[in-house]
Amino acid sequence: MKLTKQKPDVQMRIGQQVTLTIRSIGINGEGIGYYKRKIVFVDKALPGEVVHAEITDVKEKYASARLIKVIEKSPARVQPPCPVYEECGGCSLQHMDYQAQLISKQELVLEALQKYARLENPPVAPTIGMENPWSYRNKAQFQVGRQDGKLVAGLYQTGSHQLIDLEGCRVQHEATNQIVQKAKRVLEQLGIPEYDERKRTGVVRTIVARVAFATGETQLTLVTATQEIPREKELVLELRYQLPELVSIAQNINPKKTSLVFGETTRQLWGKPSIAEKLGDLSFDLSARAFFQLNPEQTQKLYREVQKAAGLTGKELVFDLYCGTGTIALWLAPHAREVRGIEIIPEAVEDARRNAERNGAANASFHTGRAEVLMPKWAKQGLRPDVVVVDPPRTGLDGALIDSLLAVQPQKIVYVSCNPSTLAKDISLLLERYELVSVQPLDMFPHTAHVESVSLLVRRCCKKV
């Protein structure tokens, strides 16, 4: 018997130059091509392009490469408007036409469901985008440092400790850009030193600016490594003079060596402790550390899609799992008999309860704990949900929670996802008892590879338990 030799693994080396045809976009916005059947990720390459690239990293199953030259250009390729786009890394798709971005995000969700949930034709709708996909972020959170003797504030370059100064970031609301630039100028004028994490000296670590889209109120928070701020009174007076639109100036103290931005203590230096924001008919007070969606315009569209998928008539008991500060639960409350939110973080539950009281949502309650524990416990007491909404982190649903959903069997599951891969893997397990009826992608963060989606799963009524 003649033995056939197995094909050896493709030998690639760092520094090797290759010519590739780009087939699709990856979850981080990189182009995906194949070199002798081995996947190669090429940063800044677009589907349909033929590119010349240099291999920068080689793994067993894939390689990464740097784009050297575009030989055949995609019609979707555009000139990025941001002058520091190549260095910053905050956006990954500014070089792609916006309509093409929306199509690629739909394809990301579609391909994930085909691959992991083994669905041949998943019901994925076109991505809901923005009419104006710029100036959409309501919060800027910029690290402070010094370069060439100049105070800078911005983001660290991807994979490095090089701080990129961001003056006029195109995806930030103009108000947050103004606050950061003027705050930086005042700190420089008064000689208040930036924090140096290597030497563990200095004061100001981060400038955080937030604007409420509905009311126009603005808030500035200076995150410091020290309890005291030198020349504090002068600082507050000068900030108020330079930024008369501010209604809140706060100091957050974070002395720890950590990648987390905020510390545990916040001091109000001047003004109100929070700013007022609205989503639809709901109102919220946002303190310096309060979590709130970064793109309010798209958030309302997202919540409308959740409401549409839930199909509430006013008679349903709804459970909102991973409810955070309760925004989805409160959006659904006027349309349901009762809504119960479950969240593991006690501070978020306290915020959710305050938000419910502020909005007069008497039929919404919020509970601290693990959903996979509380949901079956309530089911044994006769409280079985008609609709369950899940909005998990990027890692997706906990295995125990999936088991709990399959045991409790709500009529509908509305799955809000920020990661197509984990969404598809979770749906593959839920298909045991549920049918996937619809998937609606939404573009929450234009010019990045991020895609949100709302999926509706309906229980197979005739399935034997």
Among the ranges given (154-158, 414-418, 434-438), the one the predictor scored with the smallest mean pLDDT? 154-158
**Is 235 a domain residue?**
yes
pLDDT band for 461, please (50, 70, 90 cuts): confident
Residue 63 to residue 244: CA distance in whole angstroms: 52
- CATH code at 33? 2.40.50.140
**Is 11 a domain residue?**
no
**Is 236 a domain residue?**
yes
**Is 84 a domain residue?**
no
Q: Are residues 144 and 247 in the same domain?
A: yes
Backbone angles phi, psi at 253, to 5 degrees: -105, 120
Q: Are residues 307 and 274 in the same domain?
A: no
Work out the angle between the directed axes of helices 232-242 and 174-190 (0-180°, nearest 10). 140
Residue 270 to residue 186: CA distance in whole angstroms: 16
Residues whose CB is less than 8 angstroms from the CB of residue 20 and which lie 6 or more positions away in sequence, other chains included: 33, 34, 35, 40, 42, 45, 50, 51, 53, 65
Q: Are residues 176 and 255 in the same domain?
A: yes
**Is 264 a domain residue?**
yes
Q: Are residues 447 and 337 in the same domain?
A: yes
- CATH code at 425? 3.40.50.150
Q: How many CA atoms lie within 13 A of 221 on its CB side?
A: 27
Write out the two tokens for 134: 């710029």
Other beta carbons less than 10 A from residue 232's beta carbon: 15
Residue 184 to residue 190: CA distance in whole angstroms: 10
- DSSP symbol at 2: P
Work out the angle between the directed axes of helices 420-430 and 399-408 (0-180°, nearest 10). 40
Residue 32 to residue 48: CA distance in whole angstroms: 10
> What is the CA 227 to chain-centroid distance, rounded?
31
Other beta carbons less than 10 A from residue 316's beta carbon: 20
User: What secondary structure does DSSP assign to 227-292, as a single string?
Assistant: S--TTHHHHHHHHHHH-TTEEEEEEEE--SSSS-S--SEEEEEEE-SEEEEEETTEEEEEETT---
Give yes or no for residue 20 having a pLDDT over 90. Answer: yes
Give yes or no for residue 465 having a pLDDT over 70. Answer: no
Give the pLDDT of residue 197.
86
Q: Are residues 125 and 245 in the same domain?
A: no
**Is 256 a domain residue?**
yes
Average pLDDT of the chain is: 95
Give the pLDDT of residue 228.
97
Round to the nearest angstrom and report the end-to-end CA distance of the chain.
Answer: 51
Amino acid at site 42 = V
Give the pLDDT of residue 157.
86
Amino acid at site 313 = T
Total count of residues recorded for the chain: 465
Reduced to 3 states (helix: H, G, I; strand: E, B; else coil), residue 143 is strand
Q: Are residues 192 and 215 in the same domain?
A: yes
Can 91 be counted among the known catalytic residues? no
Cα Rg of the chain (Å, integer): 25
Q: Are residues 211 and 334 in the same domain?
A: no
24 close to 107: Cβ distance less than 8 angstroms: yes
> What is the CA 166 to chain-centroid distance, rounded?
20
Closest by Cα among 219, 211, 220, 207 to 166: 207
Give yes or no for residue 462 having a pLDDT over 50. Answer: no
Q: Are residues 113 and 155 in the same domain?
A: no
Q: How many domains does the chain have?
A: 3
Q: Are residues 249 and 328 in the same domain?
A: no
71 close to 60: Cβ distance less than 8 angstroms: no
**Is 90 a domain residue?**
no
Reduced to 3 states (helix: H, G, I; strand: E, B; else coil), residue 438 is strand
Backbone angles phi, psi at 112, to 5 degrees: -65, -40
Reduced to 3 states (helix: H, G, I; strand: E, B; else coil), residue 358 is helix
Write down which residue in 287, 308, 329 finishes a domain: 287
pLDDT average, residue stretch 373-400: 96
pLDDT band for 9, please (50, 70, 90 cuts): low
Give the pLDDT of residue 161.
80
Residues whose CB is less than 8 angstroms from the CB of residue 302 and which lie 6 or more positions away in sequence, other chains included: 416, 442, 444, 452, 454
Q: Which domain holds residue 439?
A: 103-130+295-459
- CATH code at 158? 2.40.50.1070
Residue 148 to residue 47: CA distance in whole angstroms: 39
Q: Are residues 454 and 305 in the same domain?
A: yes
Residue 259 to residue 237: CA distance in whole angstroms: 31
Give the pLDDT of residue 367.
98
Give yes or no for residue 8 having a pLDDT over 50. Answer: no
pLDDT band for 1, please (50, 70, 90 cuts): very low
**pTM above threshold 0.95:** no
Write down which residue in 256, 287, 318 finishes a domain: 287
Write down which residue in 260, 287, 314 finishes a domain: 287
Q: In what order do the strands lie in the sheet with 204-211?
A: 163-165, 150-156, 139-147, 204-211, 218-224, 246-253, 265-271
Q: Are residues 152 and 237 in the same domain?
A: yes
**Active-site entry in 91, 418, 461, 462:** 418
Q: Are residues 57 and 204 in the same domain?
A: no
Backbone angles phi, psi at 101, to 5 degrees: -60, -45
pLDDT, tens digit, 9 for 90 and up, residues 135-157: 999 999 999 999 989 999 999 98
Site of tokens 């349901």: 336
pLDDT, tens digit, 9 for 90 and up, residues 84-101: 998 898 999 999 999 999
